[in-house]
Structure 1
Amino acid sequence: MEKQPLIEMKQISKSFSGNRVLENVDFELLPGEIHALMGENGAGKSTLMKILTGIYERDTGSIFVKGNEVSFTNPKQAEKAGIAVIHQELNIIPYLTVSENMFLGKELTTGRLGILRTKEMKEKTKEYLNRLGVDLDPNLEAGRLSVGQQQMIEIARAVSTNAEVLIMDEPTAALTDREIEALFQVINGLKASGVGIVYISHRMEEIFTICDRISVLRDGEFIGTNKIKDTNFDEVVKMMVGRQLGERFPTRTTTPGKERLRIENFTSNGKFKDVNFAVREGEILGVAGLMGAGRTEIMEALFGALPTQSGKVFIDGEEMNIRTPYDAIKSGIGFITEDRKVEGLVLDLTVRENFALPNLLRLSNKGVISTQKENEFVSQMIDKLHVKTSSSEQLVKSLSGGNQQKIVIGKWLGINPRILILDEPTRGVDVGAKKEIYHIMNELTEQGVSIIMVSSELPEILGMSDRILVIHEGKASAIIERDEADQEKIMQAATGGI
């Protein structure tokens, strides 16, 4: 007997200010199913889920929950119907405890004065977390936990509502391999208990590991649904972008030149110690390692954003005194940070303003910004990076993740960097935008720019790097040549095995 769907969405359409973002989209979720929802950034995935959970009102179409037609007007109604969402940006308040976060907005109280039943909430917190195989002290301050542990709190909070439908948006974007493994065990446990999971991710390896079916959206239209066992990477990519992308990673044709950057005995107390490495002209040096190993901290120190106690930096043979990001920029170093929304962009400013920020000196004359220079520069960057935007005056926060990432990259290209640090350059970016970013990296190295790329995705490290620097517990544990590198060798070095 065929299972009754937990969720059926039929012929869903939605427009914003006359711009059609969804057109006649169908989606179905079965009990005990992990259903991948995929598409390029801006394809309409988030909009579809926001319509399901009552954040947006659909223009046309029908929604059924366990066979009953519904029309939610807010997320609370969706939650009462058994639908919970775990957002990409975790809704954890760092200064509250684990149990306070667990019951935030739905505290257990007694009497007319609403006295908190603190002891009971702590006991229930332990119970919910234990169900997921997680052992955490309810009294711990949430901000002291790893991202993976915070993610487990979000999942436990969702499960505590007896959710039958769980929507997970990029759940592994900031997790270590070990945390991902633990999360997958939890997801499979939920699946076994009959929970239906909508799994949104750009990581193809995960989709083919954990999911049962996959539905693809492209430009707001429903392209199709396949069983994972009946499809493959190339077919999914073609569905997403409407064309064959060819090889996942473009061929590296640049031959690295003379030494551009050398780091000697770099040390920042409690972060990393005696780190040494060099990068050549036109080279991509991949930086691998487990989360918390010190990769980002080394890059922040090189950029002058983290103090060091010892060490020297040489650029083109000249020793540099880099104490602030301003010093780094003057030395020709650009830094594309790990978290584009917090550190890479000013979300309430326009595309034009974000592109211009690090380039104000070159775009101004005697302290006054030249409108003509600014417009020419921004227009050039939009064209060069194929940024999809209605105009240069569109707010950055309204763009897709891939287009936001292109702006983060483009604003640093304006300083004509000699060295460009890319920290997780394709996190949360779809497969089409990833390929475009890889091509930009290749073009830059052809022009002699030296690139340092920090990435948690081993296929990306192997596919784009000329050499690979592996960091383990704040130390450089290995430098591996491209033709000698494989995932096993990198993981051995990352875990202290070699």
Structure 2
Amino acid sequence: MANARAAPSSHSAATEQAYDGSHDTGVLLRLESVTKSFPGVRALDDVSMDVVAGEVHGLVGENGAGKSTLMAVASGALMPDSGTVVVSGHEVGSDPAQIRSLGLSIVRQEPALMPDLTVAENLLLGVPASVRTTAGDAARWARKQLSAWSETVEIRPSTRVSALNPSQRFIVEITKALSQEPTVLVLDEPTEHLAREDVDRLFEKIRDVCSRGAAVVYISHRIKEVRQVAHRLTVLRDGQAQGTFAAAELGEQQIVDLIVGREVDTAFPAKVTIRTNGPDRLELESFSGPGFAPVDLVVRPGEIVGLAGIDGNGQREILRAVAGLLPSHGTVRVDGRGRGVGSTTRAARAGISYLPGDRHREGIFAELSVRENFAVRNLGTIGRLGWIRAGAERRLTDEAINELRVKTPSTETAIGSLSGGNQQKTVLAGVFASSPSVILADEPTQGVDIGARLEIYQQLRRKAADGTAVLVLSSDAFELAGLCDRVLIVSRGKVAAELTGDDVTERHITQAVLTATTTRDPAHRTRGGIWKALDYTAAPSFLIALAIIALGVFTASRSEFYLSDRNLGGVLALTATLALAAFGQQAIMMTGGIDLSVGPLMGLVVVIGSFYLVDGTPAGLQLWGWLLILTVPLGIGVLNWTLIDLVGLHPMVATLATFMGIQACSLLLRPVPDGLISPAITESLSVVAGPVPAAILVVGLAAVALEFLLFRSVTGMRLRGVGSQAEAARVAGVRGRRVRLVAHLACSAFAGLAGITLMAQIGSGDANAGTNYTLQSIAAVVIGGASIFGGRGSFVGALMGALLLTQVSGVTTFLNLNDAWQSYLLGGLTILAVTAYSLSRRRALAR
């Protein structure tokens, strides 16, 4: 058996210098009698804890012990049921912005970043206004903050967070916290995603923070790290504090016993003799893919083989390619038979089962139950003729949950509410249940406490003893040494060394990783090219422009009247109206919502105008009419926001209700079209400059101004941030409810303006005048590059989308096509454009 590492009995000299008692001038963070309950569980039970100036205070416990919940209360992300939180001498509530202004910064286990925003934008929004630079200076400022972490950091401020790997996201999160110069820095599992050199940098930053009189709360499952860096530590078990101790006075085994509440064996399960008879379980021959050169690898029945190396050197790509998640070339044999692994489905059919390393993004369906998360990985076993066999599903789920000792109130509990260790064991249960020939485990114990970690080791060894081949990727050399029979060192996309037998030790693995001299083949360097260019925000507008030009040139070649002043003016006038409606839709879709009431609201504006803006109406009544036209839309915006944010209705349900209500009001007022709007007003709204309507010039300038506001102002960043990740935005101090109110008001205001331009085209009160604009405005925004989930979009893209829609509606007449061709052309061009930039984003994420 490979025993656990012995931790030093005292801190390093550098750490001792950082904490000599000279800064113990007061308590910087005090948590007193904090209690917090969730449905079915008491997460914290009367917990008290003090953190003093100049110290690193360790916080340890099993998954589910309450560590992250306690720090969520401290940071204002959660409101306690009872108890008090005092930061820098001020008692605080659940206001993250206030607590952050008092000097508390937190780095969460799952970074609180907004994925559709850039690195620079996340850093800018994540710091208090007192240290925030201007939006225009964000890139330079972000580059300076990242350089403070490392001069060689390979993170560009202009890169979207969604395109970063887990290690890079964590570095951005740490950089964001450090840039605030915090008084109290909370680090929740800070080294789980970091390479060794970045862990060393982090410890250096911790010492710097303490040396200036601030304090650090260090949460980790890695007891060796806690003892290395902490001066005192508090132990939590089942939501209760077990005491605060001087870290140097407790041995590793004592800490484990306090965490678990009983004496536990911290040894790895025994390694066994590997079978040599029969075919190899997994064989790779000249196997290559993006990020790694041809690899030859054999894993025998019952063998656990590890992949080690500095992150980004190709070991993860090898594992994911075998799992069918990345394209590959070469031969793959399972149990002696050649098998294709071009997709996850084909890999699963070949007997290969994959445990993802990024549990939150790829491992679990957070809103689904434990049962459903297990079942979705075993549909072939529990399904028959496309139907789930409920009895088999319940039986297999119960067996798997009991076998891996998953702690859950019931199998119907949402898996997202479980601790990280129990989430991981549930995913592992799903992997095991298919009885695979090969298990691929990517960081199997990442973010998992000591108790759950040992159980996972035992389960992997048990599966190996049954004859399964296990291929494990881990950034922890100690873990690989204790668990694996062989370890392959991957460097620059190649297998640089192989360790077997007595050479499989932590020291030899680390030495082999650090001394590898392989070079990466140029053919396997990551390429950007056109796909990288098309991932930019402006890409949809560029593609739409090409489509508009191509369609215009083709139509003009078929009809000499297409480019006439009359036709171009009419197309541009209609575009201005649709673009205004699309601007409103873009504002609300940017936050992740949608507004189906846009079209009827435009019609209501026309109806109101048909009563007040007619010839012979006194000036006072006309003024009253304009006041209604400008204020009624804002009232509708407030109503939609109330139904969605305060009442809690889904945006589609709420705005569908207002759609019907507004349409009903319009029909009551104007059952049939009537009320001729004053020609003086319609003519003033239809002013042209040559063949170009003044309205389109105004709308074009508005699109540019709105685009600048969206991408070059803090307000625009907040709007995109709420849509990208609402909770991360809230943690960053963005008031999401207020932002969504502004978005709803903007949406209705633009719809009102679109209704005013529509009056000039309709000329009389028609209750149905705007109904078609609802779907058209949504289509224009989506074609223009917006995400229906929020966070991405472009006002210039919305304008271009409106122009394309209007153009398509008109070209069928010039081409002598029936009305059905409008739908054919629009559908085809939409699919072509959207597919192109959607694929580019997928390629960028894959990079």
For the criterion TM > 0.5, the same-fold answer is yes
Displacement after TM superposition at 1:316 (Å): 1.9
Determine the structure 2 residue equivalent to 1:400. 419
Question: Contact 1:254/1:446 (CA < 8 Å) preserved in 2?
Answer: no
- Residue 304 in structure 1 maps to residue 321 in structure 2: no
Paired residue secondary structure (2:357): coil
173-182 or 160-169, larger mean C-alpha shift: 160-169
Determine the structure 1 residue equivalent to 2:434. 415
Work out the CA distance in 2 between the residues paired with 1:232 and 1:172: 21
- Residue 34 in structure 1 maps to residue 56 in structure 2: yes
**Structure 1's 438 and 214: CA in aligned 2 closer, same or farther, altered over 3 A?**
same
Displacement after TM superposition at 1:164 (Å): 0.4
Determine the structure 2 residue equivalent to 1:79. 100
* 1:377-409 Cα shifts (integer Å, max 9, x gaps): 111111111111111111111010000001111
Question: Contact 2:439/2:469 (CA < 8 Å) preserved in 1?
Answer: yes
Work out the CA distance in 2 between the residues paired with 1:472 and 1:54: 43
* 1:65-90 Cα shifts (integer Å, max 9, x gaps): 3444x131221121122111111222
Q: Which amino acid aligns with 2:134?
A: R
Displacement after TM superposition at 1:279 (Å): 0.7
Paired residue secondary structure (2:461): helix
Determine the structure 2 residue equivalent to 1:25. 47
**Structure 1's 289 and 380: CA in aligned 2 closer, same or farther, altered over 3 A?**
same
Among 65, 81, 87, which residue is 1:43 paired with? 65
Determine the structure 2 residue equivalent to 1:291. 311
Q: Which amino acid aligns with 1:386?
A: R
Q: Which amino acid aligns with 1:281?
A: P
Q: How does 1:19-168 map to 2 (within 5 A)?
A: 19-68=41-90, 70-93=91-114, 96-104=117-125, 117-122=134-139, 124-126=141-143, 128-129=145-146, 132=149, 134=151, 139-141=157-159, 143=161, 148=167, 150-168=169-187
Determine the structure 2 residue equivalent to 1:282. 302
Question: Contact 1:6/1:196 (CA < 8 Å) preserved in 2?
Answer: yes
Determine the structure 2 residue equivalent to 1:112. none
Q: Which amino acid aligns with 1:303?
A: A
Question: Contact 2:340/2:350 (CA < 8 Å) preserved in 1?
Answer: no
- Residue 16 in structure 1 maps to residue 10 in structure 2: no
Question: Contact 1:85/1:166 (CA < 8 Å) preserved in 2?
Answer: yes
Q: Which amino acid aligns with 1:458?
A: A
Paired residue secondary structure (1:459): helix
Work out the CA distance in 2 between the residues paired with 1:272 and 1:97: 28
Work out the CA distance in 1 between the residues paired with 2:294 and 2:156: 38
Paired residue secondary structure (1:362): helix
- Residue 472 in structure 1 maps to residue 491 in structure 2: yes
Displacement after TM superposition at 1:92 (Å): 3.5
Query: What is the CA RMSD across the aligned residues, in angstroms?
Result: 2.4
Displacement after TM superposition at 1:14 (Å): 1.9
Among 398, 405, 428, which residue is 1:379 paired with? 398
Displacement after TM superposition at 1:28 (Å): 1.2
Paired residue secondary structure (1:380): helix
**Structure 1's 327 and 121: CA in aligned 2 closer, same or farther, altered over 3 A?**
closer
Paired residue secondary structure (1:305): coil
Q: Which amino acid aligns with 2:261?
A: G
Displacement after TM superposition at 1:307 (Å): 1.1
Work out the CA distance in 2 between the residues paired with 1:249 and 1:319: 34
Question: Contact 2:440/2:470 (CA < 8 Å) preserved in 1?
Answer: yes
| Between structures 1 and 2, the one with greater strand share | 1
Among 206, 210, 228, which residue is 1:187 paired with? 206
Q: Which amino acid aligns with 1:454?
A: L
Work out the CA distance in 2 between the residues paired with 1:290 and 1:128: 24
**Structure 1's 135 and 101: CA in aligned 2 closer, same or farther, altered over 3 A?**
farther
Work out the CA distance in 2 between the residues paired with 1:349 and 1:17: 16
Among 284, 291, 310, which residue is 1:263 paired with? 284
Q: Which amino acid aligns with 1:17?
A: P
Displacement after TM superposition at 1:29 (Å): 0.6
Paired residue secondary structure (1:6): strand
Aligned residue pairs: how many?
Answer: 489
Please list every run of 5 or more consecutive structure 2 residues that lacks an aligned counterpart in the other structure: 1-21, 518-847
Work out the CA distance in 2 between the residues paired with 1:267 and 1:318: 19
Displacement after TM superposition at 1:256 (Å): 3.6
Displacement after TM superposition at 1:145 (Å): 6.0
**Structure 1's 351 and 146: CA in aligned 2 closer, same or farther, altered over 3 A?**
closer
Q: How does 1:315-326 map to 2 (within 5 A)?
A: 315-326=334-345
Determine the structure 1 residue equivalent to 2:376. 357
468-477 or 245-254, larger mean C-alpha shift: 245-254
137-146 or 236-245, larger mean C-alpha shift: 137-146
119-128 or 79-88, larger mean C-alpha shift: 119-128
Determine the structure 1 residue equivalent to 2:195. 176
* 1:107-165 Cα shifts (integer Å, max 9, x gaps): 979xxxxxx93454455445545555657787542546665554444334334434201
Work out the CA distance in 2 between the residues paired with 1:152 and 1:315: 38
Work out which structure has the larger RCO, using CA pairs closer than 8 Å and 6 or more positions apart in sequence. Answer: 1
Determine the structure 1 residue equivalent to 2:454. 435
Paired residue secondary structure (1:391): coil
If the length of structure 1 is used for normalisation, what is the TM-score?
Answer: 0.92
Displacement after TM superposition at 1:228 (Å): 1.6
Please list every run of 5 or more consecutive structure 1 residues that lacks an aligned counterpart in the other structure: 110-115
Question: Contact 1:257/1:282 (CA < 8 Å) preserved in 2?
Answer: no
**Structure 1's 395 and 149: CA in aligned 2 closer, same or farther, altered over 3 A?**
closer
Work out the CA distance in 2 between the residues paired with 1:396 and 1:442: 25
- Residue 247 in structure 1 maps to residue 269 in structure 2: no
Work out the CA distance in 1 between the residues paired with 2:367 and 2:119: 31
